[in-house]
Chain A
Amino acid sequence: MENHPLKRRDVLKLLAVGGAVIGGLQYARLASASEPVGNSKHKWVMVIDQAKCIGCGYCTMACRAHNDVAPEISWNKVIQVGKIGEKQVFLSRPCMQCEHAPCVEVCMVKASYRRADGIIMMDYDRCIGCRYCEIACPYNARAFNWKPFTGPNPAVPTWGSPEVPRRPRGVVEKCTFCYHRIDRGLSLGLTPGVDEDATPACVVACPVQARAFGDINDPESVVSKLLAQYSSYRLREDLGTMPHVYYLPAREEKTA
């Protein structure tokens, strides 16, 4: 041992063990990379019609109230995106709930995970606040709680009342398609997208019905029909994230 600190055989043994470990991890990686948690026959999709959107921001406010979001954070952001003729066009941006979500792939503690119905969830009790998901998200859909949100929520009660617990300081948060409304609604036998109590708050709040919500696996749902009837697009499709939020582009005349 002293004379020959390292024998060739020892090196080979170590390499074999190392190889086995890496192989095992690779197996674990393949198994966990894109597999959704649980199983579901639904796949929730949101369709936002830019021809109808008037940029009022009701969606943002309703979201803030129902999800108890701090005033400086917008889970759903409304952005001005140029004009068609005289008409200002807006883009309302919730979380895209990507099929291949970069945030889920990079989260080291699996605080971000994908449910089988397509919703990207956040486990606020598990998040350590490293903010890697913020850097990874191409849509800036994530917000970090830089400071604690204390005191009353100015959006409450005008825009609704909180249905989920407030997040603590130091974790990342984002839109969850109001999963709590969907889950509760389904358990009561309601249909998300049809019954208001089972539909995301932003969809319900929209005064011009620019938003539609529903199950894309159901050909009779509102969203399936809209997507079959009109041409649609998704944001940054070049990235291959496959968002579950579809946009109907602004047109000269309102048709949808």
Chain B
Amino acid sequence: MKRLKKPIKINITTFHLWLAGLAAVMGAGAVAGVIVFARGLVVTNLTDLVPWGLWITIDLSSIAMSAGAFLLCAAVYILGLKRYQSLARTATYIGLIGYSMAVLTLMLDIGRPDRFWHALVYWNPHSLLWEVTMCVTLYLTVLLIETAPIFGEMEWMQTRFPAIAKRLTGLHKLAPYLAIVGLCLSMLHQSSLGAAYGILKARPILYRPDLSVLFMVSAMAGGPSLTVLVSMIANRLTKRAPVNDELLEKLTHYIGWVLVGYLYFRVWDALAMTYTYQPGKTEGLNMLTKGPLSFNFWVGEILLGTIVPIFFLLNKRLRLNPILRMVALGLVVGGVVAYRWDVNMAGQLLMLTYLPQQIVPRYTTYMPSLIEFLAGAGVVAYGIFAITLGVRYLNIVNHNTITHEPEPVPEVATLPVTVE
């Protein structure tokens, strides 16, 4: 009876319950996904007037949340701020997961997922979505190479497949180059997502170049916010995630200032639309400030998403309080998601009629269906699940093991090039 003495160790911890909960949501999402593929998009509440809805918002938001990756890699490898290397590791992993979430939602969203490869084969370089497709594909590749060392350093990989692990870890050498490529691709991508809306003449509220800038700046606040938030939460929940709070605190200070810039652009953008009456545009703005999106706009985006976090993150005393800081970072993330939702909805809930002498706004409504909610929740649960596993098994939040000791930037690299 020796076996009974040492039973199979099923020590159910909160960790397991957490994973089980996420798995349940993912399962529900998978069922919803199968229904979507089997029955088609008729199971959604999308219409010919509102053809893009909840899933597009999730797609845009997960791309925005991946922006920490390119920012921190650029900081480490281009600006030479090597102390942020461990944070870049977290951000890159989150970026990989975020981009894979975006690909998942896109596969749900397109009418012919079996033809997804058409986007890569048949090019229309004039289309913003072509650019978006290229950026997603190329940057996902960059992220895969950038995160390869993380998988290579995994203990299981090193014991089971030492040769592959060595190869993967060796890809670290490419990091500086990838940082440059990633910076270009990522900035192109964030801004072209905004531009994808900004070029739509048929949707007066969207037809303005500012959207590219706003998408990029809001992503530059939201992405690093999620990186720091994940690091802090992981650090509080497990001993496996030691962090250097000084680094996190510095980065949140930066986020605070980005938010100030974002608020400036957002307010300027809104005010610039109000000077004279313009059919469609003025009504669109009214919808944001007084209409069905007003709560989302004023409370979600402006107050909670921007102003409150600015106070929390720029004031050193408040910033040093970990709870307040985490709340602020969570609010930033929520604010960026609210912004994406508002842009997408404001553009579609209102459209100008094409009737002569009768160019009047025409309103419609949209509320996602249960299937849309379930499939969307499944994708989000997958993201959280993957990040949880990353923290647990891949050391993605670990500020103690810096494999490559930070070195000061050699002075010669900072001098201007002299012609001899």
**A residues with CB within 8 A of B:** 1, 3-8, 10-11, 14, 18, 25, 28-29, 32-33, 79, 81-82, 91, 93, 102, 105-111, 126-132, 134-140, 142-148, 168-172, 233, 235-236, 239-241, 247, 249
Contact = CB atoms under 8 A, between A and B. Distances in A.
Given A79-B355, A135-B51, A140-B49, A105 B202 contact: no
Pairs A-B, 7 closest by C-beta atoms: A129-B111, A170-B111, A131-B51, A138-B202, A147-B42, A108-B129, A6-B176
Contacts of B132: 108
B175 interface: yes
Contacts of A131: 51-52, 111
A170 B356 contact: no
Interface stretch (B97-105, B112-120, B208-216, B236-244): B112-120
Contacts of B199: 105-106
A196 B354 CA distance: 30
B203 interface: yes
B111 A135 contact: no
Contacts, number: 161
A130 B41 CA distance: 11
Nearest to B184: A18
Interface in B345-385: 347-348, 351-352, 354-356, 358-359
Interface in B391-405: none
B125 A29 contact: yes
A135 B354 contact: no
Interface in B185-204: 196, 199-203
B356 A108 contact: no
Given A28-B125, A142-B48, A128 B200 contact: no
Contacts of A7: 413
A4 to B, nearest CB: 6
B127 A106 contact: yes
B7 interface: no
A145 B112 CA distance: 11
B286 to A, nearest CB: 21
A140 B355 CA distance: 12
Contacts of A140: 48-49, 351, 354
B354 A235 contact: yes
B118 A134 contact: no
B122 interface: yes
B126 A32 contact: yes
5 contacts: A8-B413, A32-B124, A129-B110, A129-B115, A135-B348
A7 B78 CA distance: 10
Contacts of B356: 81, 91, 233, 235, 247, 249
B40 A147 contact: yes
Contact of A138 (B41, B78, B354): B354
A235 B129 CA distance: 27
Contacts of B129: 106, 108, 130, 132
A102 B201 contact: yes
B324 interface: no
A129 B40 CA distance: 11
B209 to A, nearest CB: 16
B124 A135 contact: no
B184 A146 contact: no
A236 B354 contact: yes
Contacts of A146: 40-42, 46
A14 B177 contact: yes
Contact of A171 (B111, B122, B351, B354): B111
